[in-house]
Amino acid sequence: MNADYLVKDIPGFTPHIARLVSMMNYARGTTLHAVRDLSIEQLDGVPAGFGNSIAALLEHFAAVEVAYQLQTFEQRDLNETEFARWGAGLDLGEQVKEITGKPLEHYLTQLNAVRQITFAEFAKRDDDWLHLEFPFWGGEPANNYFCWFHVFEDEINHRGQIRLIRKNLPK
């Protein structure tokens, strides 16, 4: 992994957004390291005692990011077509078993494409947008900063699951 351990200004982003981008980049780098060289069988495997495959969790990362793109950039939820595409990965329910048969490159390309949209949208916004408050879960106040923190915090949480799943896959 080629890590950047500096949370810093990044050209093209306002100071607070740049720091968020720094943290998102580090979290993604550690995820990519955790899934390196996995086969389709390893991606799709679900060891005893686990509910998700690594493929499902990678799909989840992309789905969560798409959902937060829509919520924070467009102030809306997924529409019916978008939910048909991303719902299984977003919910990690029974439908997640349908997420199989694709090579690692599929998930990496998908994650990268979704992240490129996020960063392009971030570049259009400023720190005032990041701190904009609105009602969120249960009507509690939140801001865009929290939403995007949650995107990579969720990835970090599930990346721990990926590491455990990987350790428990057949050798």
The answer as to whether 5 is a domain residue is no
Cα end-to-end distance, the chain, whole Å? 23
The answer as to whether 62 is a domain residue is yes
pLDDT greater than 80 at residue 71: yes
Question: Model's pTM, two decimal places?
Answer: 0.95
Tokens representing 70? 């829509």
The answer as to whether 6 is a domain residue is no
The answer as to whether 128 is a domain residue is yes
Report the domain count for the chain: 1
The answer as to whether 159 is a domain residue is yes
The domain that holds 86 is classified in CATH as 1.20.120.450
What is the domain extent for residue 141?
A: 15-168
pLDDT greater than 80 at residue 1: no
Give 156-171 pLDDT, tens digit per residue.
Answer: 999 999 999 999 998 7
The answer as to whether 95 is a domain residue is yes
The answer as to whether 8 is a domain residue is no
User: Got the DSSP string for 92-153?
Assistant: -SGGGGG--S--HHHHHHHHHHHHHHHHHHHHT--HHHHT-EEE-GGG-EEEHHHHHHHHHH
The answer as to whether 9 is a domain residue is no
